Amino acid sequence: MLWFKDISSFRLKLITLFSFLVIISMGFVAISTSFFLHKILINYMYTYLNNQAKPVIEFYSIYSNDLTKEAKDMIDDITSENITAVVLSSNGNIISVGSFEDSEKPIALNKNILNQFLKKPIGTFEENGEDYAYIVKKTRDVYFVVIGRLREINKVIKRFVYILLTLTIGVVIFSVLSIYAILNKILKQLDDITKISEEIYAGNIDINIPDSSSKDEFGIMFRAFKNMVEKLNNTIKIQKNFIADVSHEFKTPISYIKAQIEFILTGVYQEDEIFDVLRKVYKQTDVLSKFTEDLLALARLESNIPISKTNVDVVSLLNQLKDEFSIQNRNIILDVKSQDTWIADPHYLKIAVKNLLENAIKYSDKDIVLGYTGDCIYVKDFGPGIPKEDIPFIFDRFYRVSKDKRGLGLGLSIVKAIAQIHNFSLKVEVKEGTTFYICK
Ligand code: ADP
């Protein structure tokens, strides 16, 4: 079977295997049916010979006392185009040999063969390339050997085998064509997957992947592949943007700080201006330190460093955050439905809620509700909301919807990493603004 392994096309492999199986099974059906048909027809022949012999024997047994003398007449009475007979004496000597109606010559059977027939009184034999069936009837002092041509039976079997052969060829052609069509349909999706993978390998990520409506396993696999490629493309695009975003977000404050310090050192600023400039420089270092903190926090969370969980009083955590954020001139309404403690790392839980509050402040300009439902901590704002098509991606690293606000697209991915590390679930609801839920 080495040659089979060497076939590189899966299509060809399957079709070869399938055709092989169809031919084998059809061949098996053909051989077994011909065998049984042959057996049935031969048995039918024996019965027929018996039925022909019976009246002749009965008649001559009544009519004559010495059947050896009636041998020729008995043979003549039974002879037809397909039947003839031989009469042997009780000690096996040939008395008379008949010939078929369409032949002048008597059937060529010698004494030895005929004596073997006496030992096995029913059977078949071949003579001059033609098949015959015989039965031996013992009647008083003679053996009446009735012989029938199997020519017609062989013809029927030959016709049957011919029909089966044609049918086999038809079934093989039909099955190969149908399996080829089915395979083509299924394997087209594999071909598409290969082509798409090659395109991605070559660096082309903007590929339009067609939809598959097929409900079979290949269809499911194709759709899973499509989703994976779309997600991968998205990640690649996001990472490309990240380089640009990070360099912009880091370069701008660094250039500003560097320039201002240079101006101070070269004496561009008057002494009374320096304090104000340093305050602005300080603000920029704050921005830089926030970005660095976010990146480090994410790296730490994703490297699975163990966290230290304790009982965290949810309400006091929310109160603390409300106080911290109220300094920013925004009204934060507390909506607490129950007093509760969560088992969590207080430092990370605070960062998660803080990030949600920062986003609410950044992306809306009205009041913000900070609440606890008994199951979920939530942050609700009344801002513009998030477009539906962006929602599946907002928790991805560096994914940003609105570019008009400062940010790196890390805030929500940190919230997601914190939720995951605690086994908390995360939900977002866009309805008259945006509400994020962290649920235990
Ligand atoms: P960013 O640094 O851009 O704020 P985040 O990961 O915190 O990154 O948020 C990802 C994106 O989700 C943001 O770019 C923003 O468009 C959107 N988003 C997050 N929170 C809100 C919100 N409360 N209202 C509207 N959009 C939001």
Query: How much helix, strand and coil, in percent to the nearest 5, is found in the chain?
Result: 60, 15, 25
Ligand 1 binding pocket mutation candidate from 359, 388, 435 (most atoms within 8 A of CB)? 359
Distance 409 CA to ligand 1 centre (A): 7
Enumerate the β-bridge partners of residue 430. Answer: 434
C-alpha 338 – ligand 1 centre gap (Å): 28
Taking the centre of ligand 1 as the mean of its atom positions, its distance from the CA of residue 348, in whole angstroms, is: 19
Residue 379 CB–ligand 1 contact under 6 Å: no
Q: Are 141 and 77 spatial neighbours (Cβ–Cβ below 8 Å)?
A: no
d(CA 34, CA 15): 28
Q: Let me know: does 147 contact 128? Beta carbons within 8 Å.
A: no
Q: State the closest ligand 1 atom to the C-alpha of 400, by its place in the atom list counted from 1.
A: 14
User: Measured in angstroms, how far is the CA atom of residue 92 from the centroid of ligand 1?
Assistant: 113
Read off the DSSP letter of residue 303: T
Position 18 scores a pLDDT of 83
Q: For helices 411-422 and 346-363, what crossing angle results, to 10°?
A: 150
Strands, E assignment, 229-302: none
Q: Is 45 in the pocket of ligand 1 (CB under 6 A)?
A: no
Average pLDDT over residues 406-435: 92
Q: Which atom of ligand 1 is nearest to the CA of 360?
A: 23
Least confidently predicted of 69-78, 215-224, 274-283? 215-224
pLDDT tens, 302-342?
777 788 899 999 999 999 999 988 777 788 999 998 899 99
Q: Which atom of ligand 1 is nearest to the CA of 401?
A: 16
> In CATH, what is the architecture of 217-300?
Orthogonal Bundle (1.10)
Going by alpha carbons, the residue nearest to atom 23 of ligand 1 is: 360
Cβ of residue 433 lying under 6 Å from some atom of ligand 1? no
Which of 295, 354, 363, 405 is the best mutation target for the ligand 1 pocket, counting ligand atoms within 8 Å of the beta carbon and taking the most? Answer: 363
Return the ligand 1 atom nearest residue 402 CA.
16
Ligand 1 lined by 394 (C-beta under 6 Å):
yes
The minimum-distance atom of ligand 1 relative to the CA of 355 is: 7
Ligand 1 contacts CB of residue 239 (under 6 A): no
Q: What is the model's pLDDT at position 386? A: 95
Given the CA of residue 379, which atom of ligand 1 is nearest to it? 23
**Ligand 1 within 6 A of 408 CB?**
yes
Residues 280 and 230: their CA atoms lie apart, in Å, by 42
CA-nearest residue, atom 26 of ligand 1: 386
> For residues 281 and 260, is the Cβ–Cβ distance under 8 A?
yes
pLDDT tens-place string over residues 7-27: 667 777 888 888 888 888 888
Q: Residue 414 CA: which ligand 1 atom is closest?
A: 6
With a 6 A CB cut-off, is 98 part of the ligand 1 pocket? no
Domain 2-157, classified CATH 3.30.160, yes or no: no
More confident residue, 39 or 16: 39
Rounded to an integer, the average pLDDT of 151-158 is: 89
pLDDT value at 156 more than 60: yes
Q: Retrieve residue 7's tokens.
A: 């076939």
Rounded Cα distance, 120 and 113, in Å: 11
The pTM of the full predicted model, rounded to 2 decimals, is: 0.50
Provide the mean pLDDT of the chain. Answer: 88
Q: In one letter, which amino acid is 439?
A: C
Q: Compute the average pLDDT of residues 192-214.
A: 82
- Most confident option among 68-72, 330-334, 368-372: 368-372
pLDDT exceeds cutoff 80 at 146: yes
pLDDT in tens, 253-306: 899 999 999 999 999 999 899 999 999 999 999 888 988 888 888 878 877 778
pLDDT of residue 202: 86
The whole-angstrom separation of Cα 63 and Cα 60 is 5
- Residue 24's CB is within 10 A of a number of other CB atoms, namely 10
pLDDT at site 8:
64
pLDDT of 6: 60
What is the third-level CATH fold of 308-439?
A: Heat Shock Protein 90 (3.30.565)
253 lines ligand 1 (CB under 6 A): no
Confidence (pLDDT) at 4: 57
Distance between start and end Cα atoms, the chain? 59
Q: Looking at residue 375, what is its pLDDT?
A: 94
Question: Residue 239: pLDDT above 80?
Answer: no
Ligand 1 site, residue 435, Cβ cutoff 6 A:
no
Which residue puts its alpha carbon closest to atom 11 of ligand 1?
400
Every domain of the chain and the residues it spans: 2-157, 217-300, 308-439
Q: How many CB atoms lie within 10 A of CB 255?
A: 11
137-160 b/e (C-beta count within 10 Å ≥ 16 → b):
bebeebbbbbbbbbeebeeebeeb
* Cα 382 to ligand 1 centroid, rounded to whole Å: 14
Going by alpha carbons, the residue nearest to atom 12 of ligand 1 is 394
Q: Residue 362 C-alpha to ligand 1 middle, in angstroms?
A: 8
